[in-house]
Structure formats: C-alpha cells, structure tokens
Amino acid sequence: MARPAKKRRICRPPKFNCFTPIGKDIPEGVVVLEVDEYECLRLIDYEGLTQSECAEQMNLVRTSVTGIYARARQKIADSLVNGKELWIEGGSYEVCEGGLESCPSRKEHEKCSQCSKERTKLQ
C-alpha cells in the first residue's frame, strides 16, 4: 500500500484558473494543471528559485519538485502545442500561513506566540 501524498505548501491560489486559446477552431480538449504544479512553475520560472529552494518553500524534497516540475511543463506544452484549454485546479495542497522567512505572504508585523505583543519582521 502506497503512503498518502504529502500536502504541498503554496503561498496563494492562482488569480486565474482557466486559459482558453482564441481562434477559429474550438479547443481540442482540456489540460488540468494541479495547483501544486502551478506553484512549482511559479516559484522556479517566475520567481527564479532553484529546485532546492522551491522544495523548501513547498515543504517537499527536491526529487519530488523535479517530478512535479516536469509534469507541469509537459502539461503546459500540451496545451500550447495542441490548442487545449488549460485549467488550474485540484491537487493535494495547503495554503501557507506566511510563517516562512522566504514567503512573500509573510506579514510585516507578527505577534509573539509567547506574550502576544506585536513585533516587527526581521529583514
């Protein structure tokens, strides 16, 4: 029996979840990109993180990120080359609470867990 998939940590859900080719022809199908695959692409290709940095941010090991990244790129290529709609949905993920130093969602001010006093984020 395989062990259950670990939830992947994402900073925020995508702003847009559907992309459709425009043209004379009706799209030939649908490609579903899971939210964790989207996050992996965002972190590596858009934010410029390495696979190791991406793995740390997503709470995974680097080898898992390598597989997720490869699947995501194949799906994007399929959508572009074959004129298929691209939907971003599903997957096993949880939204980050902004607790990582590297997380862009991290709040400027935080409350101390011990005394509940507000403290300034360290740079």
Residue 68: which of 49, 44, 85 has the closest Cα? 44
Kindly tell me the sign of the dihedral angle through the C-alpha atoms of 83, 46, 13, 91: positive
Amino acid at 122: L
**Tokens coding 58:** 């997503």
- Does some domain include residue 48? yes
- Does some domain include residue 19? yes
- Does some domain include residue 111? no
Q: What is the pLDDT of residues 26-46, one digit of tens each?
A: 777 899 999 999 999 999 999
Amino acid at 39: E
**Tokens coding 51:** 């696979």
- Does some domain include residue 112? no
pLDDT at 66: 96
Full-model pTM:
0.75
- Does some domain include residue 29? yes
pLDDT at 19: 93
Range of the domain at 90: 8-96
